[in-house]
Structure 1
Amino acid sequence: MRHAAPGLGLLLGALLGGPALAADPADVPTVHGLALYGDPALPADFTHLPHADPDAPVGGSLVRSAIGSFDSTNPFIIRGTPATGLTEIYDTLLTQNPDEPFSMYGLLAEGVRLDPDRQWIEFDLNPEARFHDGEPVTAEDVIFSFETLTEQGQPFYAAYYADVVDIRAVDEDTVHVDLADSESRELPLILGQLPILPAHYWEGRDFEATTRDALLGSGPYRIATVDPGRRIAYERVADYWGKDLPVNRGRHNIERLVYDYYRDQTVALEAFKAGNLDMRIESSARNWATAYDFPALDAGFVRRLEVPDGQPAGMQAYVMNLRREKFQDVRVREALNLAFDFEWLNRNLFYGAYERTRSYFANSEMAAEGMPSEAELALLEPYRQSLPEEVFASPLPIEHPDELRPRLARALELLKAAGYGVRDGVMTHLDNGAPLRLEVLLFDTQFERVVQPLLQNLAKIGVQGDIRIVDVNQYLNRLRSFDFDMIVGSFPQSANPGNEQRDFWTSEYADVPQSRNLIGLSEPVIDDLVEDLIAADSREALDTAARALDRVLRWGFYVIPQWHLGHTRIALWDKFGWQEPFPEYNLDLHAWWVDPARDDEIETRQRNR
């Protein structure tokens, strides 16, 4: 393959005292994978991922539930409600090993060259790579995918790949990407996560319009049937071009993947117990403790697993919308936090199953604790005038009274300081007479019983609250336009957070429809701390930057943190096989298979019931 010469801009930059001249691609070795720090754990001649069984049987089906409805098979755009599982039909340039913190190995790209100074990256496409219609995957498809997703796709893509300066084809099978001098260490790896779309398929089609077509991809599955709002099914591609790649051998064994849609989780649970669903990832502690006592489990046809989760817990919380004036005073936000009684919920509703979430990076070394370290202070000190004094002077976790009564008393003090008082039993702003009222927007009735205790506690101090339950399509539309007071939202985290943090927290995405900046944060300090995190050039620097960001977010009281679990709860009809131990960092259901004999036994039981 031929290689492009360094760009003129980089050369001029070096001559004028800018960044050092990038290495010539011809002088950079081609490798089989990349790791965020150091080298990938698997050698160039690995034959399969350690948790995959290359001799696993192929066949069977996996039927799971989805909640709500869908009206689109395009998961990349703002419009419409996409069906579950659509990423199954698309390959990416590289793919992750779930047994490593963050390492990527060749998929569509069989080789990678990365400039030692991370100013560019090149991908050599596998010449055997094909879309499902037999057309080859080319460099032009990669360029089309990048430009289409960042210009017409969800805001996430523009945020994720913001530091790409240029992308071009070196030849039909080679893509060269120039990177900004942003010191984003993870950018070369997350470029490997880019889903590749067929340019020839989309020619003459409106990418931004919703569709129910069986879209074309190059992945291990294709769309088999679409029943809008009810069911979507995927079938294994028998002649899948990449089935014998090391990253795929022993994976994608199940012949048919099906998602049936249900109105809510209660109905879906009953469908599982009736044998209409094969697997259920259980999110309710009450259900896990009480709802699985039924004959099939007692007879050994159903199993329950608790798979350890090696990723940070992230943040699940009641999210306050700062675009609403009533939430813009930090004292009001702290007062609302004080009304949340986790211990009561955990004791009375959750069977003691959960841990209270305090950090945006809970269950990891990135969670801030105690007083800021010297390294954290080096990042925070330039912003001392813009940050609350508590960031520098008070330890984490934030100390609040344990008992509810003194917590509510403290909340009243904060609201009074914010200009509120109780009039005729209603918390009212004393200047404008507006009552402090909030609405919690939900789409799942399962959460109603969890929200009610918070609203009851707020009512004790005169704060009015309601629950509004809407269907999933209306819910998504309201999220896109940030039309809510408060929602139950989440900010998931990986062991190596990076560019996606811009979409979560930064000013650029505060008012972009369908961005993940649900809070509406627009704070220059937070913007800069996010860039510090992205630029971290070592594990130590990444942990420090994450702790500094975590500390500032927590003292802002932007959300009411909820709870987390250190494992994934899975209930399944016992027809599946897998290799143990499970991968350390992510659950990989693609490495599971259906045991034919056990599948027949369960089907016979179902017929004879």
Structure 2
Amino acid sequence: SYTFVRRDDYWAAQSPFSKYMYNFDKIKVSVVKDNDALQYEKFKKGEQDIFTVSRARRWVEETDFESTQKGWVKKQRVFSERPAGTSGYFFNMRKWPFDDKWVRYAFCYLYNREKMNKEMYYNEYGYMNSMYAGSMYENPDNNKFPFNPDKAVELLKEAGYTSRNDDGWLVHDESGRIFAFELDLPKTYEYMATPVQQMLKDYGIDMQIKFVDYNTMIKNVNERNFTIGMLAYSGLVYPNPETSYRSILADQNDNNNVWGFKSDRVDVLLDEYDTCFDQDRRIEIIREIDGIVADVHPTAWSTVRNYIRTMWWDKFDYPDWMLSRYVGEHWDIFYYWWIDDDKVSRLDNAMANGDQLEILPLDTEYWPEYLKNNQ
């Protein structure tokens, strides 16, 4: 473990930009290597004060214990306007088989996100259909790609995959190539990829999973030595599509245009966007770019949520909004929360006597409500 200690001689302590922030005198960080279960048990025992729940199964099945039932530990989904970022299966459009638009579309129609959300994620997520999911920049006309195997089979036939071999794999009519490709990913991603592998197998597509470490996976993506990648990127409050969609980047390594995306129209829009200071027009530009990209469809988008699931022992106080509007992550706790001595005493007494404390609503939606009331 290691401990951060707050300086008492910080020169800007009373600055308007830091006043009322950084309220903890000490922050102790305990390192638990590669053992999420142990980390959670330490939190439940009171050895840690805060825990962020990343897995839906744990949130639904493992957060109902005595301390939460008694209100000693609070748990909430805290909503914000933080950019969703992007995640899903990124196609290398420079290479077969995903150089064919209908093949990319077919993959998306076979990628049953609805089933995975229900059976694996307890319906805790929504569906990403844009580079700017859930924001004002998302093009509302983007194809949502619901699970539709009939449509997928139709598109595969248009792409030249009309028959299977004796092993049940689709074979391209003209080239004779078996529809097979390799997905490199870390072992920890296996639980997300194997259901998709089975979905594709049912329709004659052989997605072969090869386990590599994360650094190797990213190195291969950056060198364009991949066919498909399961990737995720954080988002920006103000979009900067220049670094992902500029055509000149498509044939270069080590940049965010991992797909090999090219569009003359997008290049024109990017030039305008870079010198546009009218926010309404900037939104129009991004939406048009988003629509063009959605039509090309270089990514099979995954699921999304615009909240974090967090738990904490009831010794803190915080602003009404809890977490900041555009960051909305647990790191905000270290910036804006503080220890409430009265709550500490109340928690100690409640635990000693078995008393009940307040149970908070499951969701806190300060920022979504603020946006609704101030548009």
* Offset, 1:547: 0.7
CA drift of 1:351 comes to 2.1
Residue of structure 1 in register with 2:176 after alignment: 433
2:139 counterpart SS class: coil
Q: Report the Cα offset of residue 598 of structure 1.
A: 5.5
Deviations 1:369-391 (A, max 9, x none): 2xxxxxxxxxxxxxxxxxxxxxx
> Distance between the aligned counterparts of 2:134 and 2:52, measured in 1?
20
Shift of 1:550: 0.7
Q: Report % sequence identity.
A: 24
- Letter paired with 2:208: D
Question: Of the candidates 227, 240, 253, which is equivalent to residue 23 of structure 2?
Answer: 253
1:309 equivalent to 2:51? Answer: no
Contact 1:318 1:489 in 2 (8 A): yes
Query: What is the aligned partner in structure 2 of residue 95 from structure 1?
Result: none
Cα contact 2:142–2:295 (8 A) shared by 1:
no
| 1:411 pairs with one of 135, 139, 152 | 152
User: Which of 543, 553, 562 does residue 283 from structure 2 map onto?
Assistant: 543
The CA distance in 2 between the partners of 1:238 and 1:439, in whole Å, is 55
The 3-state SS of whatever aligns with 2:97 is: helix
Of 294, 297, 320 in structure 1, the residue corresponding to residue 91 of structure 2 is: 320
Matches within 5 A, 1:118-267: 234-254=4-24, 255-256=26-27, 258=29, 260-263=31-34, 265-266=36-37
Q: Compare CA radii of gyration and give the structure with the larger one.
A: 1
- Residue 267 of structure 1 and its aligned partner are, at CA, apart by 5.0
For the structure 1 residues 504 and 594, does the alpha-carbon distance in structure 2 shift closer, same or farther, using more than 3 Å as the test?
A: farther
Aligned to 1:260, what secondary structure does the other structure show?
A: coil
> Cα gap change, 1:469/1:417 in structure 2, threshold over 3 Å: closer, same or farther?
same
- CA distance in 1: counterparts of 2:224 and 2:2, whole angstroms: 29
| 1:579 aligns with one of 290, 309, 319 | 319
| SS of equivalent residue, structure 2 residue 258 | coil
TM-score by length of 2: 0.78
Evaluate the alpha carbon distance shift between residue 291 and residue 488 of structure 1 in structure 2; reply closer, same or farther with a 3 A threshold.
farther
Q: Does 1:364 align with 2:135?
A: yes
Equivalent residue for 1:351, pick from 107, 122, 131: 122
CA distance in 1, matches of 2:2, 2:57: 29
User: Aligned partners of 1:511, 1:235: CA distance in 2, in Å?
Assistant: 48
SS at 2:208 equivalent: strand
**487-496 or 240-249, larger mean C-alpha shift:** 487-496
| CA–CA separation in structure 1 for the residues paired with 2:80 and 2:52 | 13
CA distance in 1, matches of 2:274, 2:230: 27
Structure 1 length-normalised TM: 0.51
Is the partner of 1:528 in helix, strand or coil? helix
Size of the alignment, in residue pairs?
343
Q: Distance in 1 between matches of 2:100 and 2:177?
A: 15
Is the alpha carbon distance of 1:523 and 1:459 closer, same or farther for their aligned partners in structure 2, counting shifts above 3 Å? same
Name the stretch that deviates more: 345-354 or 554-563. 345-354
- 1:338 matches 2:109: yes
- Closer, same or farther: CA 553–252 of 1 in aligned 2, 3 Å: same
Could you tell me which residue of structure 1 aligns to residue 203 of structure 2?
A: 461
CA shift digits 1:432-455 (9 cap, x unpaired): 33322233343362x433322221
Deviations 1:351-384, CA, capped at 9 Å, x for gaps = 2222222222222222212xxxxxxxxxxxxxxx
Other-structure match for 1:194: none
Structure 2 matches for 1:395-406, cutoff 5 A? 396-398=141-143, 404=147
CA 1:444 to 1:281, structure 2 compared with 1: closer, same or farther past 3 Å?
A: farther
Q: Is residue 335 of structure 2 the alignment partner of residue 594 of structure 1?
A: no
- For residues 97-139 of structure 1, the C-alpha deviation after alignment (integer angstroms, 9 at most, x for no partner) is xxxxxxxxxxxxxxxxxxxxxxxxxxxxxxxxxxxxxxxxxxx
Give the aligned partner of residue 295 of structure 1: 66
Q: Please, what is the CA RMSD of the aligned residues?
A: 3.2
Who is 1:109 aligned against?
none
- In the TM superposition, residue 534 of structure 1 has moved relative to its aligned partner by 3.1
Cα pair 2:57 2:120 within 8 Å, conserved? yes
Which runs of no fewer than 5 residues in structure 1 stay unpaired? 1-230, 370-395
One-letter amino acid of the counterpart of residue 435, structure 1 = I
| 1:548 CA displacement | 0.3
Partner of 2:186: 443
Question: 2:257 is paired with a residue of what secondary structure?
Answer: coil
